[in-house]
Amino acid sequence: MGKTYVRVDDRLIHGQTIVAWAPTLGIQEIVGVDDVSAKNAMLKSIMTMSVPKTYKTHIVTTDEAKTILEKETEKTRLVIVKIPHELLALKDQIKGCEEIYLGNLAKKPDSTHQMTGATGIFYLSEQDIQDIDSLVSEGFKVTFQQVPSAAGVDWSSFKKTL
136: CATH: 3.40.35.10
What mean pLDDT do residues 15-19 have? 92
For the chain, what is the domain count? 1
Please say whether the beta carbons of 101 and 155 come within 8 A: no
What mean pLDDT do residues 58-71 have? 97
Q: Are strands 142-144 and 153-154 parallel, antiparallel or unpaired?
A: antiparallel
Between 25 and 121, where is the model more confident? Answer: 25
Domain that holds residue 18: 4-159
Bridge partner list, 81: 8, 33
- The predicted-structure confidence for 126-152, as pLDDT tens digits, reads as follows 999 999 999 999 999 999 998 999 899
Q: The pTM is what?
A: 0.94
For residue 33, the model assigns a pLDDT of 98
Could you tell me how many residues make up the chain?
Answer: 162
DSSP 135: H
Residue % of the chain over a pLDDT of 70:
97
Computed over every residue of the chain, the mean pLDDT equals 93
Of 112, 114, 117, 113, which is closest to residue 151 (Cα–Cα)? 117
